[in-house]
Structure 1
Amino acid sequence: MADWVQNLMDSMGYLGILLLMILENVFPPLPSELIMPSAGFAAARGDMNLPLVILMGTLGSVLGTLPLYYLGRVFGEERLVAWADKYGKWLTLRGQDIRKADDWFDRHGTKAVLFGRMVPGIRSLLSLPAGMSEMPLPKFLIYSAIGSGLWASALAGAGYMLGDNYEQVEQYVGPASKIILGVLLLAVVVWFVRRKRAQASGH
């Protein structure tokens, strides 16, 4: 994949970075922790300009959040609540649980978007609850841009400094992202278990 990413950027330049970062948000298996360090390495070789690399990476990342954001807006809280009330018992999920989660996102959504854009594994998925909770698009774009810009800067800067060894960034960030995802999945499992126990005890 590294060779394909590098070849695309070599042939398309800054437009290649933009396209790859849009795709990375829609198809998470294409990792930003490979794309941006590779672009940073290209800047270190003198083939690209580092600030422009960061700008295009940030812009692509922000544009890539929009499909899932609008999917969340279209699906909406009410539809999900209705679905949970009808079918959610199989997952011990109720409509009021959805409303509580939505209320939480209303209170903490800006921080979730800002810092979540720097967390591999969930950075692209955050757009869905942001859309479902009807976070205003300008606010969503601003916080996405800040978080994405910091993430793109860190990755491109690492690639710039590491030079030929830029692929080491993915080697370190990749396992970390799996750990983060594992912790989040464990938290979800614990939540489901506690919900079932609470229901069994009649609380």
Structure 2
Amino acid sequence: MEEFILSIIENFKELSYLGIMLALTIEFVPAELVLPLAGFWVFEGDMTLWGTVLAGTIGGTFGPLTLYAVGRFGGRPFLLKFGKFVFINEEKLAKADTFFERNGAMVAFTARFLPGVRTLISIPCGMAKMNVWVFSIYTFLAMFPITFIYVYLGFKLGERWKDVAELANSYILPIGVGVLVIFLLYKFLSIRRKKLINKNIAN
């Protein structure tokens, strides 16, 4: 399957930066394959680093929008009926739902750094009818550093670009945990501040 996907990605190379964007718009073409390979193309001198990162970030934002639309307009019954054709099942949906319920709108940002939920989290965002602009902005802001890490490592490793996926997780997961901790701290302080304000008003 991986070799088949790689052959598809290679065809997108003829379209240069637009090809990278289009490949990533197909949400179930793994970014873990597209971006390191794009980094290798930078290594070969076919593209520039920052042009590739920007194209990857834009494509990585459009891709989740397709699942967001499925969640918003198709809903859970549609996904349970047809999701099996694109590797979506009840267990994966439940995991994404739980993560969304715990973290709210910020989930569109934080979940991108976490394996297991980063792809499917777009679906509960759509089902909750999150503002599409807020969703897109959070997704773009998360995808930029992730895209940079994958592309840069692909560029640095050159012909060993296939080793990037495992190496990248050692960078991305700690960033995701750090972002999540900061977000939860911010949430805690906001709630505490509201309680203090309400208490002062009551007095």
TM-score by length of 1: 0.64
Counterpart AA for 1:48: M
Rate the CA distance shift 1:63–1:3 in 2: closer, same or farther, 3 A.
closer
Once the two structures are superposed, residues 152-174 of structure 1 have per-residue CA deviations (whole angstroms, 9 ceiling, x without a partner) of: 11100110111111111135569
1:12 and 2:7 matched: no
CA contact (8 A) 2:71 2:122 kept: yes
Rate the CA distance shift 1:138–1:45 in 2: closer, same or farther, 3 A.
same
1:187 alignment partner in structure 2:
none
Once the two structures are superposed, residues 71-106 of structure 1 have per-residue CA deviations (whole angstroms, 9 ceiling, x without a partner) of: 2222458x89xxxxxxxxxx9xxxxxx9xx68x846
**Structure 2 unmatched ranges of 5 or more:** 79-89, 170-203
Q: 2: CA distance between counterparts of 1:73 and 1:13?
A: 32
Rate the CA distance shift 1:107–1:172 in 2: closer, same or farther, 3 A.
closer
Once the two structures are superposed, residues 18-57 of structure 1 have per-residue CA deviations (whole angstroms, 9 ceiling, x without a partner) of: 111111x1x2xx3211110111111122110111101111
1:22 and 2:22 matched: no
Rate the CA distance shift 1:49–1:167 in 2: closer, same or farther, 3 A.
same
Structure 1 residue aligned with 2:126, among 123, 126, 131? 131
Q: 2: CA distance between counterparts of 1:172 and 1:157?
A: 12
**Structure 1 unmatched ranges of 5 or more:** 81-90, 92-97, 175-203
Q: 1: CA distance between counterparts of 2:156 and 2:168?
A: 16
Q: 1: CA distance between counterparts of 2:137 and 2:11?
A: 28
SS at match of 1:48: coil
Once the two structures are superposed, residues 139-192 of structure 1 have per-residue CA deviations (whole angstroms, 9 ceiling, x without a partner) of: 100100011112111100110111111111135569xxxxxxxxxxxxxxxxxx
Structure 2 residue aligned with 1:115, among 103, 110, 118? 110
CA contact (8 A) 2:68 2:126 kept: yes
Once the two structures are superposed, residues 110-142 of structure 1 have per-residue CA deviations (whole angstroms, 9 ceiling, x without a partner) of: 332212123344222111100111111111001
Q: 2: CA distance between counterparts of 1:75 and 1:38?
A: 33
CA contact (8 A) 2:149 2:168 kept: no
Q: 1: CA distance between counterparts of 2:118 and 2:44?
A: 29
CA RMSD of aligned residues (A): 3.1
User: How many pairs align?
Assistant: 152
Shift of the alpha carbon at 1:107? 6.5
SS at match of 1:124: coil
Rate the CA distance shift 1:106–1:139 in 2: closer, same or farther, 3 A.
farther
Shift of the alpha carbon at 1:6? 5.7
Rate the CA distance shift 1:5–1:153 in 2: closer, same or farther, 3 A.
farther
CA contact (8 A) 2:150 2:165 kept: no
Q: Which runs of structure 1 show a deviation greater than 4 angstroms over 4 or more consecutive aligned residues? A: 171-174
Instruction: Within 5 Å, give how 1:1-203 maps onto structure 2.
Output: 1=3, 3-4=6-7, 7-23=10-26, 25=27, 27=28, 30-75=29-74, 105=100, 108-172=103-167
